[in-house]
């Protein structure tokens, strides 16, 4: 607990410095800023790749299958469905605002979006492919070859470019303009009295120790089960898998609470189906606090004000395979 509060204090100080002079300098949560600079050609290519199931062995699973941009950048399942309907070990975190994360995956094993993007493609339990085979597919499709050449200036396609383009697209997936952000920016009518009371509770109870900054989380690793142990439905042990340090057992990246109304179910194992349940468990296990029904409802009302403008773009049309394209193998 002490540790968490120390961290929170330092984060608060950073946040205050970073946003000094803005309307919301005194708040531990800052508005999401719109994307100000982006490599547009990479974004357009990355958008196609994000939706292209040919990056999977089966030809059926794309990034968008589990990070569905119609559904808050998640699959809304406890754990995801992978190649041959394998049950994943962990809940698919939202891709929305993921560029703000301190690192990627629940255990932070990828430093950034680019490092993350290659993971699921080659994970036998997810897209079940290899980087080489995925690149071979792209190389066989003239429209992709031309687009990679236009974007990266070379005749070669490699996995580094693939993940770079996907990551650049993912950087566009921010969700500014939530009711809460409008409130932060000075529109005091943007959220109702319940949500405001919920925000007050959220701050005073200590939730904000971990859930702070523009993403309302995503910027630290914390233990799941501080006051009481969490009985996880997943075998995942968190950050210890990356660091090997016993102290990192059950340390997980704090998830963003942006768009949390859309990203159910909650926790790394999807163990909480509703926000009410998640708030209750978090209060008891992390803060040693049992929220009353009314308090819980107020916090939930606040959390629902964190839903921002969802990414809005035309469904990409993918260039067709050719006679030379290696065929997908869905059933072997």
**Which positions lie near a second copy, rule CB under 8 A?**
51-54, 58-60, 65, 68-72, 75-77, 81, 84-85, 87, 261-262, 264, 273-276, 310-318, 320-321, 323, 327-328, 330-331
Tokens of 184: 């932060």
Shortest CB 9 distance to a second copy, Å:
34
The rounded distance, in Å, linking the Cα atoms of 18 and 125 is 40
Angle at 125 between CA 119 and CA 129, to 5 degrees: 60
Shortest CB 119 distance to a second copy, Å:
20
Note whether 47 and 316 are within 8 A (CB). yes
Cβ burial of 181 (10 Å; 0-12, 13-18, 19+) is buried
Tokens of 270: 């999807």
Tokens of 299: 């916090």
Shortest CB 146 distance to a second copy, Å:
16
Nearer to a second copy, 30 or 97 (CB): 97
Q: What are phi and psi of 183, to 5 degrees?
A: -65, -45
Nearer to a second copy, 77 or 197 (CB): 77
Residue among 239, 12, 8 nearest 109 (CA): 239
The three-class DSSP label of residue 279 is helix
Residues near 6 by beta carbon (within 8 Å), at least 6 away in sequence: none
Tokens of 283: 């209060």
Nearer to a second copy, 189 or 331 (CB): 331
Shortest CB 205 distance to a second copy, Å:
22
The rounded distance, in Å, linking the Cα atoms of 256 and 101 is 8
Helix or strand holding residue 143 (H, E): helix 142-152
Nearer to a second copy, 242 or 297 (CB): 297
Identify whether 126 is a catalytic site residue.
yes
Nearer to a second copy, 190 or 278 (CB): 278
Note whether 11 and 220 are within 8 A (CB). yes
Q: What is the DSSP letter of 208?
A: G
Note whether 57 and 133 are within 8 A (CB). yes
Nearer to a second copy, 201 or 272 (CB): 272
Shortest CB 84 distance to a second copy, Å:
5
The rounded distance, in Å, linking the Cα atoms of 36 and 205 is 34
Note whether 214 and 29 are within 8 A (CB). yes
Nearer to a second copy, 184 or 262 (CB): 262
Shortest CB 62 distance to a second copy, Å:
9
Shortest CB 270 distance to a second copy, Å:
10
**Choice among 126, 147, 168, 170 that is catalytic:** 126
Note whether 177 and 308 are within 8 A (CB). yes
Positions marked catalytic:
126
């Amino acid at each position: 607990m002490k540790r968490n509060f120390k961290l929170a204090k330092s984060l608060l100080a950073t946040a205050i410095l970073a946003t000094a002079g803005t309307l919301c300098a005194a708040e531990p949560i800052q508005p999401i800023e719109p994307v100000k600079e982006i490599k547009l050609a990479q974004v357009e290519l990355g958008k196609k790749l994000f939706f292209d199931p040919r990056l999977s062995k089966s030809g059926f699973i794309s990034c968008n299958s589990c990070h569905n941009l119609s559904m808050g950048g998640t699959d809304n399942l406890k754990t995801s469905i992978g190649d041959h309907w394998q049950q994943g070990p962990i809940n698919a975190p939202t891709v929305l605002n993921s560029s703000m994360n301190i690192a990627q995956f629940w255990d932070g094993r990828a430093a950034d979006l680019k490092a993350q993007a290659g993971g699921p493609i080659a994970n036998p339990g997810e897209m079940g492919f290899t980087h080489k085979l995925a690149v071979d597919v792209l190389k066989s499709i003239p429209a992709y070859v031309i687009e990679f050449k236009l974007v990266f200036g070379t005749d070669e396609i490699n996995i580094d470019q693939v993940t770079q383009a996907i990551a650049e697209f993912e950087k566009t997936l921010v969700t500014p303009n939530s009711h809460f952000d409008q409130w932060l920016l000075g529109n005091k009518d943007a959220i109702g009295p319940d949500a405001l009371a919920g925000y007050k509770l959220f701050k005073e109870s200590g939730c904000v120790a971990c859930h702070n900054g523009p993403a309302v989380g995503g910027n630290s690793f914390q233990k799941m089960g501080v006051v009481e142990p969490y009985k996880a439905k997943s075998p995942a042990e968190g950050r210890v898998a990356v660091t090997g340090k016993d102290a990192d057992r059950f340390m997980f990246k704090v998830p963003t609470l942006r768009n949390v109304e859309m990203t159910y179910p909650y926790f790394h194992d999807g163990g909480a189906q509703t926000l009410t349940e998640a708030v209750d468990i978090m209060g008891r296990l992390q803060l040693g606090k049992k929220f009353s029904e009314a308090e819980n409802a107020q916090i939930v009302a606040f959390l629902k004000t964190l839903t921002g403008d969802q990414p809005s773009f035309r469904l990409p049309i993918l260039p067709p395979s050719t006679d030379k394209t290696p065929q997908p193998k869905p059933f072997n």
